[in-house]
C-alpha cells in the first residue's frame, strides 16, 4: 500500500472512533513542524485540537539566558560556536547575528565536535560552545566536554542551556490554564530517556500518553492510538514508536549526561523557574563551564508585545498574537518562536492558512 492510502486509512479509522472534543498537546518542536509541513490537521475531524507546547529548545530559553550570552560575547573576547537558530534570537540588546556584523566571531556548526577542531586551529582565541536543547542534544555536548577535558584543550568553554522535558510537561499540567486531554509524546526525547522516563509524569497525572515518531504515518498512527485510549477512557502510557524508542532508553547517552551534568532549577520562557529542570555542568568539569568564571548580573526585560510565553503554554495560537505576521515575521523576528524552525509561530507562518 502507498503511504497516502495508509494515511487515509488511519484518518478514516480516527474519524470512525472520534466522538469527544479533545485537546492533544505535542511537547516536541519537530512534531509541531512536521504536523504543519504535512498538513496533518487537515486529516483530522474538527473535534480534535492539536496544541503546540514548550517543545522548541530555542524558544523556551529564557530572555535572561539569551542576554547573559549576548552580554558576555559583547564585553569579553570570546568567539561563539552554536547551532543555527540561536544566532537570530533577539536579546534585549540585539541578537548574536548583530554582534557578528559588529565583527564578533560567531560560528554555526552542525556537530558540537567541530568546536574542538575550531579551538585547536585557533589556539590564540577563546571560544564558547553554547549547548541548547533537551535530552536529545545534551549527550552530544556531554561527549564534547569529555573530549575537551581529555585532550586538555584550554581555549574552549561551555555554556549549558540544556533542559529536561518532563518538568516542563508537569509545569503545564500544574498551571491548569489549558485542558490537556492527551499527550503526544516526543519521539526523540523518548529515544534517550525511554518509555520509562515518562512513568513519573504519567503516574502523577494519569493523562493518556502516546510516544510517536515523525513520519506522517507514524504521527497518524500515534494519534489514532491516543484518540482510541481517550475514547475508551483508558489511561495508559504507550510507545507507538518502538522502532526507535525502547523501555529503558539509550543507556550510553544517559550515562554521558550523568557523568558531565548535574540537574538544577532552570528558568524557562513562558513557564518561569522550574525545579530540577535544567542541566548544568557539574563540579568535575567546572573549569570548562563559562558560568563558573562569569557571574553576570543580568536585568532582562521580556520583549514588549511578544506572546511567545503564551504560545509555549498552548493558551494562545500564534495568529492570535498582535505582532504575528505584521511586526514579527521569519525574516524580522521579534520573538524566538518565530525564529526557530521548531517554533509554533514559524510553522504557522510558513505553512499557514490551509492548516488553521
Residues 6+ apart with CB under 8 A from 21: 47, 49
Rule CB under 8 A: is residue 301 a binding residue for another protein?
A: no
Counting contacts by CB under 8 A, is residue 37 touching another protein? Answer: yes
Report how far Cα 339 is from the mean position of its chain's Cα atoms.
13
Q: Which residue is it, cell 510565553? A: 309
* Count of positions on this chain that bind another protein (CB under 8 A): 27
Identify which range of 57-65, 158-166, 204-212, 345-353 contacts another protein by CB under 8 A. Answer: 345-353
Q: Determine if 331 is a binding residue for another protein (CB under 8 A).
A: yes
C-alpha cell at 295: 557571574
Name the one range near another protein by CB under 8 A: 1-9, 73-81, 198-206, 272-280: 1-9
Residue 309 makes contact with another protein by CB under 8 A: no
Query: Is residue 350 a contact residue for another protein (CB under 8 A)?
Result: yes
Long-range interactions of 101-110: CB distance < 8 A, separation 24+: 104/73, 104/74, 104/79, 104/80, 105/79, 105/80, 106/73, 106/79, 106/80, 106/82, 107/79, 107/80, 107/81, 107/82, 108/81, 108/82, 108/83, 108/84, 109/81, 109/82, 109/83, 110/83
Among residues 10 and 260, whose Cβ is nearest to another protein? Answer: 10
Note whether 221 binds another protein by CB under 8 A: no
Q: Which of 1, 103, 110, 356 binds another protein (CB under 8 A)?
A: 110
Among 24, 27, 38, 181, indicate the residue that binds another protein (CB under 8 A): 38
Give the E-state strand segments of 192-350 in sequence order: 209-211, 237-239, 261-268, 272-281
CB of 329 to another protein, least distance (A): 7
329 touches another protein (CB under 8 A)? yes
- Is residue 105 at the binding interface for another protein, with CB under 8 A as the rule? no
Q: Assess 3 for contact with another protein (CB under 8 A).
A: yes
Using CB under 8 A as the binding rule, whether residue 9 contacts another protein is answered as no
| Residues in CB range of 221: below 8 A, 6 or more apart | 10, 212, 240
Q: How far is the CB of 31 from another protein (least distance, A)?
A: 15
- State in angstroms the smallest separation of the CB of 137 from another protein: 13
- For residue 26, the surrounding DSSP H or E stretch is strand 22-26
Find the binder of another protein among 22, 28, 40, 279 (CB under 8 A).
Answer: 40
Distance CA 356, CA 336 (A): 21
Q: For binding to another protein (CB under 8 A), which residues are involved? A: 3-4, 7-8, 36-40, 42-43, 84, 110-111, 114, 216, 329-331, 341, 349-355
Amino acid at each position: 500500500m502507498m503511504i497516502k492510502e495508509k494515511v487515509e486509512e488511519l484518518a478514516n479509522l480516527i474519524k470512525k472512533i472520534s466522538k469527544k472534543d479533545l485537546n492533544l498537546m505535542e511537547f516536541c518542536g519537530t512534531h509541531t513542524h512536521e504536523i504543519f509541513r504535512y498538513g496533518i490537521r487537515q486529516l483530522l475531524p474538527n473535534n480534535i485540537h492539536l496544541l503546540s507546547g514548550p517543545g522548541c529548545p530555542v524558544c523556551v530559553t529564557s530572555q535572561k539566558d539569551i542576554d547573559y550570552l549576548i552580554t558576555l560575547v559583547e564585553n569579553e573576547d570570546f568567539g561563539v560556536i552554536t547551532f543555527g537558530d540561536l544566532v537570530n534570537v533577539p536579546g534585549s540588546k540585539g541578537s548574536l547575528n548583530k554582534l557578528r556584523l559588529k565583527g564578533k566571531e560567531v560560528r554555526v556548526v552542525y556537530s558540537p565536535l567541530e568546536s574542538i577542531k575550531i579551538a585547536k586551529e585557533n589556539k590564540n582565541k577563546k571560544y564558547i560552545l553554547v549547548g541548547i536543547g533537551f535530552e536529545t542534544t545534551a549527550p552530544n555536548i556531554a561527549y564534547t566536554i569529555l573530549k575537551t577535558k581529555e585532550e586538555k584543550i584550554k581555549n574552549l568553554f561551555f555554556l549549558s542551556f540544556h533542559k529536561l522535558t518532563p518538568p516542563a510537561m508537569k509545569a503545564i499540567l500544574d498551571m491548569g490554564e489549558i485542558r490537556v486531554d492527551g499527550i503526544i509524546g516526543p519521539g526523540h526525547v523518548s529515544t534517550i530517556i525511554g518509555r520509562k522516563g515518562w512513568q513519573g509524569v504519567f503516574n502523577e497525572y494519569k493523562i493518556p500518553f502516546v510516544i510517536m515518531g515523525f513520519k506522517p504515518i507514524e504521527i497518524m498512527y500515534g494519534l489514532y492510538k491516543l484518540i482510541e485510549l481517550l475514547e475508551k477512557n483508558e489511561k495508559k502510557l504507550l510507545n507507538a514508536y518502538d522502532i526507535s524508542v525502547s523501555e529503558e532508553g539509550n543507556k550510553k547517552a544517559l550515562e554521558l549526561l550523568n557523568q558531565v551534568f548535574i540537574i538544577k532549577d532552570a528558568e524557562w520562557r513562558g513557564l518561569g523557574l522550574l525545579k530540577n529542570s535544567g542541566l548544568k555542568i557539574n563540579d568535575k568539569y567546572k573549569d570548562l563551564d563559562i558560568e563558573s568564571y562569569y557571574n553576570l548580573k543580568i536585568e532582562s526585560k521580556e520583549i514588549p508585545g511578544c506572546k511567545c510565553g503564551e504560545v509555549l503554554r498552548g493558551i494562545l495560537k500564534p495568529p492570535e498574537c498582535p505582532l504575528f505576521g505584521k511586526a514579527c515575521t521569519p525574516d524580522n523576528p521579534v520573538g524566538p518562536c518565530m525564529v526557530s524552525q521548531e517554533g509554533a509561530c514559524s510553522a504557522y507562518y510558513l505553512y499557514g492558512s490551509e492548516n488553521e
